[in-house]
């Protein structure tokens, strides 16, 4: 469904698809396959509230970008030292994942290109917002946020930072991303590496044909 909404970008040389690991990568793989576009990852880490890691205070992304949920921070009054401690720990995991997924292979260049940022869904939107702000620093010509499912208000708010937002479904009530999947098993590091390798191999075959 999501790839079908993005068919205007199919077959273009200036398009690259970036999946937010881990859960966004299987979705991004299918989008890249349908659009015949190269696939890469863009690592973003949620900053979870101490003691309640499922609650997002904000997020960090490759390139040193940090986004905080201002409304949540006003409500919960987290001391700056606690935010810094969480951010340091997540930065280490961000760097580990980049090494694990890409190894020594450089990231796909995005300058002057259309970037389609894909995740498995949008709940609070903090991780996707951090990804958009970080990618913007790399000077793409156009940024598309694309997800199969998202909270209506979050999808609308993403217009503030992205050039285009595609949410294939915006159910009411939304509740959580996982409720809208038949299979929401956790994606492993190995699956991410496998999908990146499979996409790269398919791209090489198409270019040599």
> Which pLDDT tens digit goes with each residue over 153-193?
999 999 999 999 999 999 999 989 989 999 899 999 999 99
Beta bridge partner(s), residue 8: none
Residue 85 pLDDT level (bands cut at 50, 70, 90):
very high
Rounded to 5°, the CA angle 139-169-167 comes to 10
Q: How many CB atoms lie within 10 A of CB 151?
A: 22
Q: Which CATH class is domain 2-43+103-208?
A: alpha beta
Q: Is the pLDDT of residue 204 over 80?
A: no
Question: Closest Cα partner for 11 from 38, 30, 35?
Answer: 35
User: To which residue do tokens 């009530």 refer?
Assistant: 173
Whether the predicted pLDDT of 62 surpasses 90? no
Q: Report how far apart the first and last C-alpha atoms of the chain are (Å, whole number).
A: 28
**Cis peptide upstream of residue 22 (ω within 30 degrees of 0):** yes
CA nearest neighbour of 194 among 19, 73, 14, 3: 19
14 — pLDDT class (breaks 50, 70, 90): very high
Q: What value does the CA radius of gyration of the chain take, rounded to a whole number of Å?
A: 17
What's this model's pTM, rounded to 2 decimal places?
0.87
CA distance 12 to 37: 7
> Where do the structural domains in the chain lie, given as residue ranges?
2-43+103-208
pLDDT of 209 strictly over 60: no
Token pair recorded at residue 157: 């708010």
Q: What's the token pair of residue 8?
A: 């205007």
- Average pLDDT rounded to a whole number, residues 67-73: 76
Extract the tokens encoding 111: 């300058």
Give per-residue burial for 71-108: e unless 16+ CB within 10 Å, then b: ebeeeeebeeeebeebbeebeeebeebbeebbeeeeeb
3-state secondary structure string across 148-159? EEECHHHHHHHH
């Amino acid at each position: 469904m999501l790839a079908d909404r993005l068919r205007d970008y199919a077959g273009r040389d200036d398009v690259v698809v970036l999946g937010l690991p881990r859960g966004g990568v299987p979705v991004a793989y299918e989008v890249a396959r349908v659009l015949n576009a190269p696939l890469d990852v863009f690592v973003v880490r949620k900053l979870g509230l101490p003691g309640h890691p499922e609650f997002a205070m904000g997020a960090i992304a490759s390139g040193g970008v940090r986004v905080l949920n201002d409304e949540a921070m006003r409500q919960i009054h987290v001391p700056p030292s606690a935010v810094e401690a969480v951010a340091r720990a997540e930065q280490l995991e961000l760097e580990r994942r980049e090494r694990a997924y890409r190894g020594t292979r450089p990231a796909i260049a995005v300058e002057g290109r259309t970037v389609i940022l894909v995740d498995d869904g949008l709940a609070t939107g903090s991780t996707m917002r951090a990804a958009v702000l970080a990618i913007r620093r790399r000077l793409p010509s156009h940024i598309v946020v694309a997800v199969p499912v998202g909270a209506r208000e979050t999808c609308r708010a993403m217009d503030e930072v992205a050039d285009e937002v595609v949410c294939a479904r915006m159910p009411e009530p939304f509740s959580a991303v996982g409720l809208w999947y038949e299979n929401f098993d956790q994606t492993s590091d190995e699956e991410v590496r496998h999908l990146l390798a499979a996409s790269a191999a398919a791209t090489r075959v198409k270019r040599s044909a």
